[in-house]
Amino acid sequence: MKLTANQIVAARLVLARASLRWSQQQAVDELARHGLHWSVPVYSAAERSVDGRRPRQFDADTVVALSRAFGYPIAWWYAPLPAADRFGLLPQIIPRPGKVALTPDELVEAIIGRRGNALSEALIDAAPTLSAATRQLLREHIEPEPPEEEGS
């Protein structure tokens, strides 16, 4: 099914809150700590916007706040939805005709990009501006340690 990027973010909002077993009030409180001041009704409408009837626009600042509040990386908010809603968490999703909608393949291509290691290069270029702890985290993600061999 082709969905808009905003529908993907709305669906991920439902999944993020459910994964942490937070109430909408807890989610709103955590979002406020990260600069996004929504009321519970606004939050609820954002979750329901996945159905396509009343779309919500999630701008870059909002997605950064969501990422920081829920602890999921920015790319996760745009990743294709699970093939099966094993836990019955998602509301009915209605594709939005006339809007730019993407297939799961197109979403993955958008997340990974077609420019080789452009993300890694951008993060390395930014390293001098980062704290030591963040640089260490970056090294672990860009250059993961090889798995230990059995018997060592």
Residues 6+ apart with CB under 8 A from 79: 8, 12, 107, 108, 111
The pLDDT value given to residue 100? 76
Q: What is the tens place of the pLDDT at every residue in 111-146?
A: 777 776 777 788 778 888 889 888 888 777 766 566
pTM, two decimals, is 0.78
* Residue 92 per-residue DSSP state: P
The pLDDT value given to residue 150? 66
Per CATH, the architecture of 5-112 is what? Answer: Orthogonal Bundle (1.10)
Would you write out the chain's pLDDT as a tens digit for each of its 152 residues?
788 899 999 999 999 999 999 999 999 999 999 999 999 999 999 999 988 778 899 999 999 999 999 999 999 999 988 877 776 777 667 676 667 778 888 878 887 777 767 777 887 788 888 898 888 887 777 665 666 766 65
The structural domains of the chain, with segments of one domain joined by +, span: 5-112, 114-144
The pLDDT value given to residue 125? 82
Give the span between the Cα atoms of 49 and 46, in whole angstroms: 5
Q: Percent of the chain beyond pLDDT 90?
A: 44
What CA dihedral angle connects 14, 52, 92 and 64, to 10 degrees? -20
Residues 6+ apart with CB under 8 A from 62: 36
The pLDDT value given to residue 91? 66
